[in-house]
Structure 1
Amino acid sequence: MDFTLQMYIELIAAIRNAGYYFSTFGAFLQTGPPNTVILRHDVDLMPQNSLNFARIQYELGIRGVYYFRAIPASWDEAVILEIARMGHEIGYHYECLTTCRGNRDLAIDDFGKNLTALRKLAPVTTICMHGSPLSKYDSKDLWKTYSYRDFGIRGEPYFDIDFSKVAYLTDTGRRWDGYNVSVRDKVNSVHRYNYKSTRDVIAGLQNQQLPDQIMFTFHPQRWNSNPAYWVRELVFQRAKNVIKQYFYMNQPATQSIDG
């Protein structure tokens, strides 16, 4: 059964067996070594699931980066503190243009306020855009007017990774070929693979189909060993993928959504 904690553990083992080292995003920006996998986690909902991921990684002696939204469904201070104590990187999953309805002046103030609050819990040197489902605003557009480097931010994956060299694999849409139903959580890259299941990704690793640098993006709320949560997420994501594909994918980018 896919998208369970056991399947996640098998994927991590396959990455390690393929000869890759694991890295946070911040550490990758410093050295960018070959044979490296960046473990990125977007904590959109259910932060306890992210804590489960962080504990698994800690037990295996590896580290990842966890991006938290400034909403109650994501921002759990106890979880943030525990994940940070395990040595994982903490980042801000910003969506300010959505929450401020496109007003960039209000959005940059909101960004600064939330970043300051998060930094009271853990060091934060990287950020990552949240796609903001159902919003017509792309929060990356905030940086057409402002610079995140003015806030002491060293990197944002969509701007600071060379995806001509780094493969991007994301579980958007609860599938690994989610770029087919995604508008914002995708990148321009020559590295594109028709992996649908996690088993497909594992096979690709075993067959050495992937380059020597990869960013994996996980949405831990999609990974459940509890049968009720697993079924709920399966049904919800299938419905959401249909909506995105048939009602939004052909709309102008400013009117589109992402998951």
Structure 2
Amino acid sequence: MDFTQAKYVSIIEAALGAGYRVCSIRDWYDDPVKQGRVLLVRHDVDRQPWNALEMARNEHARGVRTSYYFRSLPCSFVPEVITGIRDLGHEIGYHYEDWSLARFDKARAIEMFDTNLKRLREFAPVSSIAMHGSPLSRESNLSIWKHCDFRDWGVIDAIESLDFKGFASFTDAGRTFGQTGANLRDYLRGEDRIDDVHSSDDLAAFLRTGRYERVHIGVHPERWNDSALPWARQWAFDFAANSVKRGLKLVRKAPAQAGPG
């Protein structure tokens, strides 16, 4: 059974065994060491924040620090979890979606971003942010930066501020680490996508080979469950969501129909 907490631990242990320095987004931005192997790990806490806390504990037990990005909505924003992960030494960031929540209203989106970032900073220092994909939205949440500059809030953006050229990049967004039509917006500038990695075991094996000096992993903690019932529930949710996202991708690629006259 894939996408369990135990499988996630096997990925981290494979990286450590192969000599990778596992680090957070902000740590890499501040000190991009050019020599040696590095694994950047970004957790997008879309739902099930208690899964994120379990992951954070497993990482802490192995001496690594990664990044956890929280949405402003109740399905993600649980202060007890945020402070718990903070106290384990991990980076806390804002998983913003204000552009879509504000229905593309520039002034409202900026106001919401400011308010939500301040609220998160009540529980942890925040110096980096990462866009939430909002797959049902017709526009990317990155669109907010056409109207303001995230640097004005003293943060870096996990997508906009880093160049991932030379990185092998993987995401579990489609419940696979391989290429999938269910991945709508989880892409990074300059990244290399690998064709022969699909499962957690594949990813662990890839890391053991050391084929790439630099690797980035995007993880959604809601997807990783050891218990059968929550695992099955999430599998069903992912199956349905991925079907919708594949349909949206086809619709958005379809040519516009000509109007009358």
Same-fold status (TM-score > 0.5): yes
Distance 1:249 1:123 in 2: 40
Q: Return the letter of the residue paired with 1:169.
A: F
Runs of 4+ aligned residues of structure 1 deviating over 6 Å after TM superposition are none
Does structure 1 conserve the Cα–Cα contact (< 8 Å) formed by 2:135 and 2:184?
no
Does structure 2 conserve the Cα–Cα contact (< 8 Å) formed by 1:67 and 1:93?
yes
- Which residue is 2:258 aligned to? none
- Which residue is 1:216 aligned to? 217
Does structure 1 conserve the Cα–Cα contact (< 8 Å) formed by 2:163 and 2:189?
no
Distance 2:180 2:136 in 1: 17
**Aligned 1:99-114 pairs, distance under 5 A:** 99-114=101-116
- Runs of 5+ in structure 2 lacking a partner? 255-261
Q: Return the letter of the residue paired with 1:40.
A: R
- Runs of 5+ in structure 1 lacking a partner? 254-259
- Which residue is 1:54 aligned to? 56
Residues 121/204 of structure 1: CA separation in 2 closer, same or farther (3 Å cut): same
Q: Return the letter of the residue paired with 1:239.
A: A
Which structure has the bigger radius of gyration?
Answer: 2
Residues 91/212 of structure 1: CA separation in 2 closer, same or farther (3 Å cut): same
Provide TM-score, normalisation by structure 1. Answer: 0.92
Residue deviations 1:6-51 (CA, integer Å, cap 9, x gap): 1111111111111101111111111112411111100100100000
Count of aligned pairs between the two proteins:
251
Residues 178/69 of structure 1: CA separation in 2 closer, same or farther (3 Å cut): farther
- Which residue is 2:28 aligned to? 28
Distance 1:64 1:190 in 2: 19
Distance 1:162 1:65 in 2: 17
Aligned: 1:176 with 2:168 = no
Q: CA deviation at 1:86?
A: 1.0
Aligned: 1:64 with 2:62 = no
Residue deviations 1:88-115 (CA, integer Å, cap 9, x gap): 1100000001110001111011000011
Distance 2:47 2:138 in 1: 21
Distance 2:180 2:186 in 1: 7
Residues 197/74 of structure 1: CA separation in 2 closer, same or farther (3 Å cut): same
Aligned residues with identical type, % of pairs: 36
Say which structure is richer in helix: 1
- Per mean C-alpha deviation after superposition, the further-off stretch among 141-150 and 172-181 is 172-181
Q: CA deviation at 1:179?
A: 4.7
